[in-house]
Structure 1
Amino acid sequence: MKFYLISLGCPKNLTNSEEFSARLIANGHQMVFSPDESDEIIINTCGFIASAVQEAKDEIRHALELKRKGLVKKVAVTGCLVERFKEQVAKEFPEIDTLFSIGAQEQIEKALKTRGTLLEPLPSSLYLPHYKMSLTAPHTAYLKIADGCNNRCAYCTIPFIRGPYRSKPMEDIVREARLMSQNGVQEISLIAQDTTSYGMDLYGKVQFLPLLEKLLKIRGLKRLRIMYAYPHRMTREIARLMASTDKIFHYVDIPLQHIADPVLKRMNRHCDGAQIRRTLDMLKKEVPDISLRTNFIVGFPGETQKDFNELKKFVAEYEFDNMGVFEYFREKGTAAYEMKQISAAVKHERSRELEEVQSRVIDRINKRLIGTTLEAIADGKDFGRTYKDAPDIDGKVTFTRPVKAGSIFKARVVAAQGYEREVEPVK
C-alpha cells in the first residue's frame, strides 16, 4: 500500500505521525509525497482550537474530493479531531473509510483495514517507540518527553483530548536522544504539553533538571532546545544549568497567556503576575543572553481595559524575542465556555494593538542586534535560524554566503527587518 500523509497541528502531533508512519514502512508499505501517487491518504488532525478544526475539515474535504475523482482509493483520519469530535466527524463525513483514535495509532495496520471507526483508549504510559522516522529536516528533531496535561487551564481542551500527564521513562528518553545524535541530528527540541512537569507522575516529583543533566552526558549531543515550559516551574537551577553549557540553546518557549492577576485567576493558571515577573527576571539575570518566546490570549472572558493595558505595558517592558497573539475562542467543554464573553470586535482590536506593541519591541531588538555575533543553525545552504528561533514557529535568517546545511556556526547580524534577519557566517 502506498500512503500519503498529512500531519497537522503541533510538534507533539508530528511525533505521533513519525511513529505510525515508521510502523507502516517497517511492514512493507510505502510513503509517497503526492496524493495522486497514493492508494490511501492518512490525515493526522489537530482539534485544539476552532481554526485547527476548520483546517482539518478543509483537508478532509479535499482528500474526499480526490477519492470521488478516483485519484485515491481510501481516506483515513486520526488525531485530536477524532478524539474530540468522533461522532460529529463521522456524521459530517460519511465517506471517510476509517476514523481511528490516537490510541489506535499503535495498531495502524489494523486501523487501516477497519471500515468505519476504531477507537482505543489513550496509552496509560509512554515508552521508546519501536519504530520512528523523521518528518523534519535531517539535522533537527522533536523528542516528546511526556504527553497529556494536568494543569486544567480554563480555556484549554488538551486534558480531555490528550488525557492526564504521562511521562516517558528517563532511560527511554536518553536512548532516543542518543539515537538521534548518532543519526546526525544537531538540534533536539524537547516537547510535551508542559516539559517542566516532567517526571511528576513516574517519580513522585518533577525530574526535568535531572533529565537535562543526563541528556548532557550523551557523547555527540550537539544542542537541546526547551519548549513549552510552565512559568513557575522554570527554576533557578535549570537556568544555571543552561548558563553553564553551550549544549542547551539559551532559549526558552514559556507560554504566559496573560499578566493581569484577575485574568490569570479566571484562566486557572497556577501562577500570578508577580511570579511570572520573578521568573523572567531570574532567567535574564542567570542567562544574560536568554531568548524568550511566549504566547498571549487577548479577549479572555472578563478581561477589562485595565487588564489589557497592563498586558501591553508588560510586553513593551519585557521585550520577548518571539511572541504569538491569539484571540480567545470559546471552546465547548472548557470552564471558560460558560463565562460571559467579550465581543469579537473588541478581541480583534486588542489583538491588533498588542501586535503593534510587539512590532515596536522587535524594532528595538533589531537595532541592538546589528553587528552582534550569534550562534546560528543552517536549515539550508543559504537560510536558517539563530539560536533565538525554534524550528517552524519563529523567525528566519538568510546567509551572506553559503554554508553546509545542518551546521551550527557563529554569525554576525548585518541586517534585520521584523523577524527576518541577514547574517554573515564568521570563520
Structure 2
Amino acid sequence: MKFSLISLGCPKNLTNSEEFSARLIAQGHELLLQPQGADVLIVNTCGFIASAVEEAENAIAEALELKKQGQVKKVAVTGCLVQRYKEKILQKFPDIDVVFSIAGQERIEDTLQKSGFISAELPKTLYLPEYKMSLTAPHTAYLKVADGCNNRCAYCTIPFLRGNYRSKPMEDILREADLMAQNGVKEISLIAQDTTSYGQDLYGRPQLAELLEKLLQNRRIKRLRIMYGYPHRVTPQLADLMAATPRIFHYIDIPLQHIADPVLRRMNRHCDGAQIRATLDMLKKRVKDISLRTNFIVGFPGETEADFKELLAFVDQYEFDNLGVFEYFREEGTAAYGLPGQVPAEVKKERRLRLEEAQSRVIDRINQRLLGTTLEAIADGDTFGRTYKDAPDIDGQVTFTRPVRPGRIFGAKVVQAHGYQRTLEPLK
C-alpha cells in the first residue's frame, strides 16, 4: 500500500503521525511525500480551537477533492477533530472512507482496511512506540513524555480530546531518546501538555528534573529542549540543572495565559500572578541567559481594561524572547463557554494588537542587547537555522552570513537584528 499524510496541529500531534507512519513503513507500506498516486491519504487533524477546526475541515475537503479527481483512492481522517466531533465528521463529509480515533492509530494497518467510524478508548498508559520516524529535519525531533492533561483550564478542550494525564515510563523515554541520538538527532524537544507534571501519575510526584538527569547520562544526546511547562511547577531544581549544563538549552516554554488574578481565577489556572512572577524571577536569577517563551489570551470573559493594562505592563517588564497572543474564542464544551462578561470581538482584536505592539518594543530592546554577542545556533539548512532561543516549527529562524552544514551546532555572532529577523556570523 502507498500512503500519504497531512499532519496538522501541534508537535504532540506530529509525534502521533510519526509513530503510525513508522508502523506502516515497518509493515512494508510506502510513504509518498505527495498525495498523488496514494492508495490512502491520511489526514491527522487538530481540533483544539476554532481556527484549527477550520484548517482541518479545509484539509479534509482538499483531500476529498483529490479523491474525486482520481489522484488518491481513499481518504482517512484521524486526530483531535475526531476525538471532538466523532461521527459528525462523516455526516459533514460522507465521502470519507474511514474516520478513526487516536486509539485507532495503535492498529493503523487494520484500521485502514475498515470503513466508516472506528472508535476506541484512549490507552490508560503510554509506552515506547514500537517504531518511530521523524517527519521533521533529521537533526531535530520531538519526544513526547506524556499525553493528556489534568489541569482543566476553563478555556481548554485538551482533556476532552486527549484524556487524563498519562506519563510514559522513564525507561521507555531513555530508550527512545537513545534511538533518536543513534539516528543522528542532535536536538530533542521534550513535549507534553504539561512537561512539568511528568511522572506524577507513575511515581507519585513530578520527576522532570530526575528524567533530565538520566537523559544527560547518555553522552550521545547533544541537546535537550523543554516545552510547555506549568508556571508553579517550574522548580529551582529544574532551573539549577539547566544552568549547570549547556546540553539543556537555556530555554523554556511556559504558557502563562494571563497575569491578572481575576482573569487567572476565571481561567481556573492553578497559580496566581505572584507565583508567576516568583517563578520568572527565580529562572532569571538562576539561569542568567534564560530564554523565555509564553502565550497569552486576551479578551477572556470578564477581562477588564485594568486587567489588560496589568498584562501590558507585565510583558514590558519581563521581556519574553518569544510571545504568542491569541484572542479568546468560545469553545463549546468548555467551562468558559457560558461565562458572563463575554468581551466584544472588536475589543479583543484591539487588545491583541496593543499587546503585539508592546512585544514589538520589547524585541527592539532585546535586539539592541544581542548585537555583537555570541549565541549557540543550530543549522536547519545551509544558510538558515535557529539559536538556542528558538524552538523548531514554533519560533523564528535566523540566517547565516556563510553556508553551514545542516545539523551542526556552533557559536555565532549576531551581526544584524530587526524584529525577529536576525543574521549571525558563524565563528568556526
* TM-score calculated relative to the size of structure 2: 0.99
Moved more, 176-185 or 307-316: 176-185
Show the counterpart of 1:71.
71
Q: How far apart in 2 are the matches of 1:419 and 1:316? A: 17
**SS of residue paired to 1:136:** coil
1:122 alignment partner AA: L
Show the counterpart of 1:364.
365
Show the counterpart of 2:192.
192
Show the counterpart of 1:157.
157
Q: How does 1:170-189 map to 2 (within 5 A)?
A: 170-189=170-189
Structure 1 residue 62: Cα displacement:
0.5
Show the counterpart of 2:105.
105
Structure 1 residue 88: Cα displacement:
1.8
Show the counterpart of 1:313.
313
2:254 alignment partner AA: I
2:381 alignment partner AA: G
**SS of residue paired to 2:413:** strand
8 A contact 2:152–2:159 mirrored in 1 = yes
Show the counterpart of 1:398.
399
Show the counterpart of 1:326.
326
Q: How far apart in 2 are the matches of 1:158 and 1:310? A: 28
Q: How does 1:45-56 map to 2 (within 5 A)?
A: 45-56=45-56
Q: How far apart in 2 are the matches of 1:87 and 1:73? A: 22
Q: How far apart in 1 are the matches of 2:79 and 2:139? A: 26
Q: How far apart in 2 are the matches of 1:31 and 1:288? A: 45
Show the counterpart of 2:248.
248
Q: How far apart in 1 are the matches of 2:71 and 2:250? A: 48
8 A contact 2:154–2:266 mirrored in 1 = yes
Q: Deviations over 1:307-326 (max 9, x none)?
A: 00000000011000000000
Q: How does 1:118-157 map to 2 (within 5 A)?
A: 118-157=118-157
Q: How does 1:237-386 map to 2 (within 5 A)?
A: 237-340=237-340, 341-386=342-387
Q: How far apart in 2 are the matches of 1:327 and 1:347? A: 6
Q: How far apart in 1 are the matches of 2:267 and 2:303? A: 10
**SS of residue paired to 2:86:** helix
Structure 1 residue 418: Cα displacement:
1.1
Q: How far apart in 1 are the matches of 2:220 and 2:108? A: 33
Moved more, 260-269 or 66-75: 66-75
Q: How far apart in 2 are the matches of 1:33 and 1:17? A: 13
Q: How far apart in 2 are the matches of 1:371 and 1:37? A: 51
Show the counterpart of 1:212.
212
Structure 1 residue 182: Cα displacement:
1.1
Q: How far apart in 2 are the matches of 1:170 and 1:146? A: 10
Q: How far apart in 1 are the matches of 2:124 and 2:104? A: 13
8 A contact 2:382–2:406 mirrored in 1 = yes
Q: Alpha carbon RMSD of aligned pairs, Å?
A: 0.6
Q: How far apart in 2 are the matches of 1:221 and 1:111? A: 35
**SS of residue paired to 2:278:** helix
1:228 alignment partner AA: Y
**SS of residue paired to 1:35:** coil
Q: Structure 2 unaligned runs (5+)?
A: none
Show the counterpart of 1:236.
236
**SS of residue paired to 1:36:** coil
Q: Deviations over 1:1-52 (max 9, x none)?
A: 1111000000000000001001111111100011113121100000000000
1:374 alignment partner AA: L
* TM-score calculated relative to the size of structure 1: 0.99
**SS of residue paired to 2:4:** strand
Q: How far apart in 2 are the matches of 1:224 and 1:190? A: 7
Show the counterpart of 1:417.
418
**SS of residue paired to 1:6:** strand
Structure 1 residue 87: Cα displacement:
2.4
The number of residues matched between the two structures is 427
**SS of residue paired to 1:358:** helix
8 A contact 2:87–2:117 mirrored in 1 = no
Structure 1 residue 157: Cα displacement:
0.1
Q: How far apart in 2 are the matches of 1:228 and 1:277? A: 17
Q: How far apart in 1 are the matches of 2:214 and 2:257? A: 31
Q: How far apart in 1 are the matches of 2:392 and 2:365? A: 23
1:281 alignment partner AA: D
Structure 1 residue 209: Cα displacement:
1.0
Q: Structure 1 unaligned runs (5+)?
A: none
Q: How far apart in 2 are the matches of 1:87 and 1:319? A: 45
Moved more, 45-54 or 30-39: 30-39
Q: How far apart in 1 are the matches of 2:346 and 2:111? A: 44
Q: How far apart in 2 are the matches of 1:65 and 1:255? A: 37
1:30 alignment partner AA: E
Q: How far apart in 1 are the matches of 2:68 and 2:344? A: 41
Structure 1 residue 246: Cα displacement:
0.7
